[in-house]
Structure 1
Amino acid sequence: PSSSKNLLILLHGLGDSHEPFLNFGKRLELPKTSVMALQAPDPLPLDLGHSWFPAFEADGNMIQPSRAQGRRTRGLERTLERLESFLERVWEERRFTAK
């Protein structure tokens, strides 16, 4: 709503979606606060939710952390860039109070 001066942004974990977090945020009923629950960009296989970074190999096994390979890190960096860009637009358009 236009009367909101604050924005609560919720991010889900691996294998989840934005919906339960949006419902949770709304139930908090924080005054003058809009709630935004964001959906991770990477769908998991077999409709098991979403991820903010590549999490599984093509064979269904978890990608193991590896500095040499860095797939998970690159995926997180890509997500961070998207989030930063999105948040800049939200702040410009809605003029929420940053505290």
Structure 2
Amino acid sequence: MAESVGPILHVIVVGFHHKKGCQVEYSFPPLVPGAPNECPLGWKYLPTLALPDGSHNYDEDTVYFHLPSLNNPKRTIYGISCFRQIPVEDMLLKCQT
């Protein structure tokens, strides 16, 4: 995966599945080419960092985190996660289990 030279490498949607836990639901551009829901091995903790344990206790919050560069061991990739709770009645698409 080639890292971008711009300030934004990816826009990622992380969701919480009641059986699987935190997982990447969407990434643009894909973190792993051809697999928009996959994380590269070096970033396997990205979903948990972006949506930390206990976040369900807050209506909204912002989390700052960092990950190692996948291409250069001397670089760090900084991440910002913003989330909020929404009532199930306001959801446009509801998951069926």
Instruction: Decide which structure has greater strand share.
Output: 2
Question: Same-fold call, TM > 0.5?
Answer: no
Q: Give the TM-score of the pair, scaled to structure 2.
A: 0.31
Higher relative contact order (CA 8 A, sep 6+): 1
The structure with more radius of gyration: 1
Q: Give the TM-score of the pair, scaled to structure 1.
A: 0.31
